[in-house]
Amino acid sequence: MFQHTNLQSKIKVGEAIELFASFYPRQIDTTLALENLKLEPFRHTYFKNLSGGWKQKLLLTLATLHSPSIVFLDEPSTGLDPKSRRELWKMIVSLRDAGTTIVLTTHYMEEAEQLCDRIAIMNHGSVVGLDTPQKLIQSLNKDKSILIACKQLNIALVQKIAGVSRVVSKNNLLQIFTDTIEWTTFELFKLISTEGLIVDDFRFSTGSLDDLFVKLPQLQEEMML
Amino acid sequence: MKAIHILTLIELKLFFRDLQSLIWTFIFPFVMIYFLGLLFGNSAVGEMDYKTLLIPNMIALCLLSTALFTLGTRIVSYKESQLLKTYQITPLHSIRIILSFCLLGVIISLFSIIIACVSGHFIYNLQPPIYLIAVIFSLMLSMVTLFSFGILVTGISSTMQGAAGISVLALNLQTFLSGGVIPYQILPLPLKIVAKALPLHYVNDILTFTWTGQSVNSIWLNIIILIGMAFVFFILSIRCFRWT
């Protein structure tokens, strides 16, 4: 399935499924395909009148009518709104759960993190990272951080906590980098309690694939130098 | 066979959902028969009455316009919209697409032929052909030649605009040089040579001779050339077919 795949604008959903089913030598139950993907209400709808999300769902249905063991998806959710994207993800996950191997290319790191068991990050045609999403993130972020929103918190006091390497202030949030996250958290809350401050937001930041996507090629270049 | 059957059926449905194609197919033969008959109806081509040649010449033109504008341009539009790329990842072979489009062309052309015959009969009292089997054979040969020619030449382009340009050029050039509108005998020598290289010239000959009930003995070489062209164009249209 390609990023900009198109069907004839005035082909109906039912006709498209019937047409693609006829391309394969084995018998395909088109009614079942329509029902499984809840496309039955759109059977008589023209392709051009479907929303972007439904178009992609139909195209994914057409690509998998013959129950392939491997499917290549080229940026399937490009241009879709968040709701349609999540619905498409559900379809992809159900295909994966049914045993289909899916090779998916995407620029959306959230999509890769949500859907993929293994991720290969490519830079100028070379693989610069290959592992599970969790391990890739862990490999990058040895320096863990804490994000906290607390208006009266004194940065100078925070920097004195054992293990803290640096503190960055951005958008009412303090990002505290540390190599002993448990100890720093304990000391931080002890400080907040002593000072009688109010915490508006608190979370651990373990980094994201977005960060990894930006940093990995840089790391590779540094290693080559 | 199932894929060819369903692809043809769905393409036919899509054709009937497109108003422009419908107008072109149904109005064009009627309008052309009416006006050409009105303008040149009283003239003669050699020993033949011009009106007698009106229907076979019109059928030849309809076949060529169907080949270029309905079949060839449509395939290019599918190439441009990446639909062919989607077909490419299925087991559908290019030969099936071409056969299916040729079949579609046959069905659409039948409508044009019926309209041309009915219009000619009611407006100018033109009679149907005497040797029907000979006409059917010449129609089939003409269709294979022109449809594969249309798919081949428009396929040079990868955009609709390019395909439309090629179609207009190919249609106009052949219309004027084939002998259907301007008698071949009055063309200057260089144009006669160009006309001999174009399939519509031979299609016009074979259709005119079989339609008017004349013996085809005098044009046997033209028939052989047309069969050769049909073979070459069909093979080339498959060999030169590009999915993207």
Q: What is the pLDDT of residues A125-139, one digit of tens each?
A: 888 788 888 887 777
- The beta-carbon neighbor of A19 closest among B6, B78, B91 is B6
Side chain identity at residue B156, one-letter code: I
Are B238 and B214 contacting, i.e. CB atoms less than 8 angstroms apart?
Answer: no
Contact A6 B83 (CB under 8 A): yes
Chain B residues touching A24 at Cβ < 8 A: 90-91
**A94/A32 same-domain check:** yes
Q: Which residues of B touch A (CB under 8 A)?
A: 2-3, 5-7, 10, 13-14, 17-18, 78, 81-83, 85-87, 89-92
Q: Which helix (H) or strand (E) holds A170?
A: strand A164-170
CATH number at residue A171: 3.30.70.100
> What's the token pair of residue A115?
């859907």
ipTM, interface predicted TM-score of the complex: 0.82
**A199/A147 same-domain check:** yes
Residue A155 within a domain = yes
Residue A224 within a domain = no
**A101/A38 same-domain check:** yes
- How big is chain B by its Cα radius of gyration, in Å? 18
Are B55 and B211 contacting, i.e. CB atoms less than 8 angstroms apart?
Answer: yes
DSSP B70: I
Which residues, at least 6 apart from B84, have a Cβ–Cβ distance to it below 8 Å?
B75, B78, B97, B243, B244
Residue finishing a domain among A57, A85, A107: A107
d(CA B145, CA A45): 37
Q: What is the pLDDT of residues B108-134, one digit of tens each?
A: 999 888 888 888 888 887 778 888 899
Full residue range of the structural domain in which residue A99 is found: 13-107
Q: Single out the residue of B94, B161, B244, B96 nearest to residue A2, CA to CA.
A: B244
d(CA A8, CA B3): 17
Buried b (16+ CB within 10 A) or exposed e, B100-122: bbbbbbbebbebbbebbbebbee
**A176/A98 same-domain check:** no
Q: What is the pLDDT of residues B14-35, one digit of tens each?
A: 999 988 878 877 888 788 888 8
Q: Single out the residue of A17, A41, A38, A36 nearest to residue A28, CA to CA.
A: A17
d(CA B100, CA A100): 32
> What's the token pair of residue B182?
């301007």
A182: exposed, middle or buried (Cβ count in 10 Å: 0-12, 13-18, 19+): exposed
Length of chain B as a residue count:
244
Residue A173 within a domain = yes
Chain A residues touching B85 at Cβ < 8 A: 2, 5
Q: What are phi and psi of B63, to 5 degrees?
A: -60, -40
User: What residue has token string 């080949």?
Assistant: B67
**A36/A98 same-domain check:** yes
Q: For chain A, how many structural domains are there in total?
A: 2
**A147/A80 same-domain check:** no
A189 touching B, CB under 8 A?
no
pLDDT of residue A223: 57
**A28/A90 same-domain check:** yes
Residue A57 within a domain = yes
**A199/A148 same-domain check:** yes
Cα–Cα distances in angstroms (integers) from residue A14 to residues A29, A44, A147, B12, in the given order: 12, 6, 51, 16
d(CA B102, CA B160): 19
CATH number at residue A102: 3.40.50.300
> What's the token pair of residue A123?
């830079």
Side chain identity at residue A186, one-letter code: F
Residue A52 within a domain = yes
E-strand spans in chain B? 44-45, 48-49
Residue A212 within a domain = no
**A29/A100 same-domain check:** yes
Determine the distance from the C-alpha atom of residue B195 to the mean position of all C-alpha atoms in its chain, rounded to a whole number.
16
From the first residue on, what is the mean pLDDT of each consecutive set of 10 residues in chain A (225 residues)? 74 92 84 77 89 85 86 84 85 87 87 87 82 79 79 86 85 85 89 89 79 68 59
Residue A129 within a domain = no
Residue A54 within a domain = yes
pTM over 0.90: no
